[in-house]
Amino acid sequence: MPCYVVSARTASLSADPLDPEQIVSGDPEVSTHEILHTEHVDIGIWEHTAGVSTDVEVDEVFVVLSGRASIEVAGGETLQVGPGDVGVLEAGAQTRWTVHEDLRKIYIIR
């Protein structure tokens, strides 16, 4: 595997459209940039524009680069995230993402 660097703040992302059933309000768009994909881990950049959507999570650690969001976890807390925050999501968690300012994060999925 070659060595390389990706600018997390300026990397071009590719559209990764939400299923229309996931959109709760607004017109959110999601885009991604895969940095690394192996049998055991996926690492990439993910961006969600302002709006509200739902998801079912995988085991993930993420670092917010920019933007702000509230992540409501069904049966749990509402997580407030912004630049510099590190979050952990558990596989199977049902979430509702209210993105107040376009959110860009680095994710690591196992």
The contacts of residue 107 (CB under 8 Å, 6+ apart) are: 42, 43, 44, 45, 46, 60, 61, 62
Q: Is residue 99 part of a domain?
A: yes
**What is the token pair recorded at 32?**
């991604």
Number of domains in the chain: 1
Look up the pTM and report it.
0.94
Any domain includes 97 = yes
In a domain, 2, yes or no: no
Q: Is residue 36 part of a domain?
A: yes
pLDDT of residue 2: 85
Residue-range definition of the domain harbouring residue 30: 20-109
Residue 27: exposure state from Cβ atoms within 10 A (0-12, 13-18, ≥19): exposed
The answer as to whether 69 is a domain residue is yes
pLDDT digits (tens, 9 = 90+) for 42-75: 999 999 999 999 999 999 999 999 999 999 999 9
Q: Any idea what the CATH number is for the domain that residue 51 is in?
A: 2.60.120.10
Whether residue 6 lies inside any domain: the answer is no
